[in-house]
């Protein structure tokens, strides 16, 4: 299915927008509404594993999902889709901003609802230990139980449909973005060939299980994610305070070096500030911007 849609990227928006996205939204809304109504009035169960600083822990765990990497991949797909559908004279920036705001609000509502469900699901410390002992993802366990409690045996099918469609839209976007990029760099190989190759690679990796995929991808992600976050922060700062190429490049170079050394386990970075949170790159990004900006300003003078 991923390959079929990816082979015709011009039709991707129609196929995803007209079929997959509506089906995904209806399924998620059905699960959330039914589960919330079922758990309404249930007291949250506090265990010994409860977080002492939930806001900080939530931010750090959200950061560590490294979802922001997808922004670089999907931005090309989204902009090309908007460009293909936009009428002459319409601002691409305005349409992209509107689409981003709608997506952000929708995602926020979904995650708030899922967080509420997770907070209300009765889960003892013994159950958490048992799930961890089996090597099962705790979030998957909670969602599966919530779906079963709301819909009975049908809950597995509802949750399976949601996961399938969500992963399908993601895999399509990634294959299209990756194949388009490599075809633009190495034009001798066709876009369709790249799409087929990356689909097969994804198929092989995905069937190793969620935990296996996460463990094998972490080293690469720990290098790329700080670089991408730094690039985004620099670009946002550049909108407010225009930066020279040097001021934009220095922090990215510094963060790249720190990220590589960190993944290699170098003792040099073992005791850096924020290392425990995988954010040891942040001080270097800030220092890099300051140094790059100062040097470029001094050079102009």
DSSP string, 1-52: -HHHHHT-GGGHHHHIIIIIHHHHHHHHHHHHHHHHHHHTTPPPPP-TT--S
Q: Are 29 and 37 in contact (CB under 8 A)?
A: no
Whole-prediction pTM: 0.70
Walk along the chain (301 residues) and give the pLDDT tens digit of each residue. Answer: 888 888 887 777 677 777 888 888 888 888 888 888 888 876 665 655 555 666 666 766 666 666 777 777 777 777 777 777 777 767 778 888 888 898 889 888 888 888 888 888 777 777 778 887 887 777 788 888 888 888 888 888 888 888 888 888 888 888 888 898 899 889 899 999 999 999 999 888 888 876 777 777 778 878 888 898 888 888 888 888 888 888 888 899 999 998 888 888 767 777 788 877 778 888 888 888 888 888 877 766 5
What angle do helix axes 92-120 and 69-85 make, rounded to 10 degrees?
A: 130
Predicted confidence at residue 46, as pLDDT, reads: 60
Distance from chain centroid for Cα 192: 25
Predicted confidence at residue 47, as pLDDT, reads: 58
Give me the residue spans of the domains in the chain. 2-207, 219-293
For the record, the structure tokens of 224 come out as 């790329």
């Amino acid at each position: 299915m991923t390959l079929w849609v990816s082979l015709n990227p011009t039709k991707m928006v129609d196929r995803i927008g007209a079929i997959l996205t509506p089906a995904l939204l209806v399924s998620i809304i059905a699960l959330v509404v039914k589960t919330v109504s079922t758990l309404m009035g249930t007291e949250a169960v506090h265990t010994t594993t409860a977080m002492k600083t939930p806001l900080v822990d939530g931010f750090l765990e959200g950061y560590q999902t490294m979802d922001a990497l997808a922004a670089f991949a999907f931005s090309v797909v989204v902009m090309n889709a908007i460009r293909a559908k936009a009428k002459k004279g319409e601002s691409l920036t305005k349409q992209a901003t509107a689409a981003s705001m709608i997506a952000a609000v929708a995602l926020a509502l979904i995650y708030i609802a899922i967080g509420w469900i997770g907070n209300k699901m009765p889960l003892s410390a013994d159950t958490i230990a048992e799930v961890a002992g089996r090597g099962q993802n705790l979030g998957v366990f909670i969602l599966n139980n919530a779906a079963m409690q709301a819909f009975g045996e049908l809950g597995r099918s509802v949750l399976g449909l949601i996961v399938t469609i969500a992963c399908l839209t993601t895999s399509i976007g990634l294959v299209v973005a990756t194949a388009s990029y490599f075809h633009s760099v190495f034009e001798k190989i066709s876009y369709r060939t790249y799409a087929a190759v990356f689909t097969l690679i994804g198929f092989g990796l995905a069937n190793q299980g969620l935990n296996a995929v996460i463990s094998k991808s972490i080293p690469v992600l720990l290098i790329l994610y700080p670089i991408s976050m730094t690039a985004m922060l620099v670009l946002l700062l550049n909108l407010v305070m225009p930066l020279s190429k040097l001021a934009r490049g220095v922090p990215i170079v510094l963060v790249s070096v720190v990220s590589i050394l960190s993944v290699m386990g170098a003792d040099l970075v073992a005791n850096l500030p924020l290392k425990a949170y995988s954010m040891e790159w942040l001080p270097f990004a800030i220092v890099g911007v300051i140094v790059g900006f100062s040097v470029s300003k001094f050079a102009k003078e």
